Structure 1
Amino acid sequence: MTTERAGHVPFPIVLLGAGGSTRMGGADKLLELVDGLPLLRRQADMALSVAGAGVFVALTPAPHPRHDALVGCDAVRVEVPDASEGMNASLRRAFAALPADAPAAMLLLGDQPDIRARDLVRLATAVNAGGDTRIWRAATETGAPGHPIVFHAELFEEIMQLKGDEGAKSLVKSNAHRVELIQIPGDRARRDLDTPEAWAAWRAENPDR
């Protein structure tokens, strides 16, 4: 994989890797090979290539093949024993593990192989912690909101109180007046691969990856 050091992300990156791949028919979407690596490792390495304040990966407890995929990786592993609850269990555990002085944190999904390091940098560059905005969200070329998302530290306590499997949707909705959309090329802000059909279509479009 080509490392892109076009700039740095000056706050922690949280990578979600504890989901159950329930729509994959028994396969693990985060262990699918992309750029010669398990997708989870590819995402972690990409984040590390521009991370200035660490990468924190939410994971189901070891032993698990996803841990094996991260052997030799410098990312911090955050185990999520209650991962079966849904995404918010991962958010609570991961954000609780962040440094106390982190001014913000970026949330990166594990199943978006089209996201590039330069997209993370573009999003981070837009962050102005001194303004009124508290959420900076990647969007498609046409303005449809997606991921990654950066949350101001002011919202961390609320994130650590979230329940269920809705992710931070309720938090984003209640702070809609403080959200800034940052466009990145194509539709990659919204393209996640969580079914065999989605993977087949993506591989047909990306035979070299």
Structure 2
Amino acid sequence: MRAEDTVLILLAAGRSQRFGDADKLAQEFLHKPVAYHVVTALEAIPFLDRVAVIDGTKLDFASRGYDVIVNDDPAAGMSRSVQLGLRAARAKGAKGVVIALADMPRITAAHVYRLLDTARDDADAVVASSDGTRPCPPAVFGAGRFDFLESLEGDAGARDLVRAGRHVVTTPAELIDIDTPEDLDRLRAIAEAPDQHDAITLPQPEPWWHPRPE
């Protein structure tokens, strides 16, 4: 699937009960906010459009080339943010979407291109990332899956769809997810002491298609 035919949907909710009162996406990691790492990593990919769905963060995604959509009902679950992003993708005539999380600061463009290559030009494509054990974001969905994804409610519903799709394996280190202050501390520890990488437990993502713990 060509990047030029897909819309990037970046789920960028700054509110996180597990992180406390702070905006986790704005927390500093390697001299810039957590969320700007994935923004920088994917900025050269020629997507049809980029959409950031936010519900609390004050980060300026618009200045980084994103159409910003505010999820005014975050209590409805992450599926609400996905729905808002999909509506924007439909309006652009997208043949597919890449759904990524802003709290995964080690995602690379090379991996996203592998996801798109695996999706081919397939309207029913479902291609997720994997650490070799379970599927997780980022993920690619063809336009033929939009109706189903928009019908979901809460934080779950697409689990079986994703499990039955294709999976592109990458290193667990690339799929680090930041949900708690402790997760961020571990990530900083890895950056400061890469030789200790194997001794540090890495936080792995809770996919948006699974119920997320409070």
For residues 58 and 40 of structure 2, what CA distance do their matches in structure 1 show? 14
Does structure 2 retain, via aligned residues, the 8 Å contact 1:124–1:150?
A: yes
User: What pairs with 1:163-182 in structure 2 (closer than 5 Å)?
Assistant: 163-166=153-156, 170-174=157-161, 176-177=163-164, 179-182=165-168
**Percent pairwise identity:** 22
- TM-score after normalising by structure 2: 0.79
1:88 aligns with 2:73: no
1:147 aligns with 2:148: no
Once the two structures are TM-superposed, the CA of residue 43 in structure 1 deviates from its matched residue by 2.3
Match of 1:136, SS state, is strand
Aligned residue for 2:120? 128
Once the two structures are TM-superposed, the CA of residue 134 in structure 1 deviates from its matched residue by 2.2
Aligned residue for 1:98? 89
Report how many aligned residue pairs link the two structures.
Answer: 191
Does structure 1 retain, via aligned residues, the 8 Å contact 2:98–2:141?
A: yes
Stretches of structure 1 lacking an aligned partner (at least 5 in a row): 1-7
Aligned residue for 2:200? none
Aligned residue for 1:206? 191
Structure 2 residue aligned with 1:183, among 169, 191, 205?
169
**What's the RMSD between the two structures over aligned residues?**
2.4
More helix by share: 2
Stretches of structure 2 lacking an aligned partner (at least 5 in a row): 195-214
4+ residue runs over 4 A deviation: none
Aligned residue for 1:5? none
Q: Could you tell me which amino acid in structure 2 is paired with residue 199 of structure 1?
A: L
Aligned residue for 1:158? 148
For residues 82 and 154 of structure 1, what CA distance do their matches in structure 2 show? 26
- TM-score after normalising by structure 1: 0.81
Does structure 2 retain, via aligned residues, the 8 Å contact 1:23–1:194?
A: yes
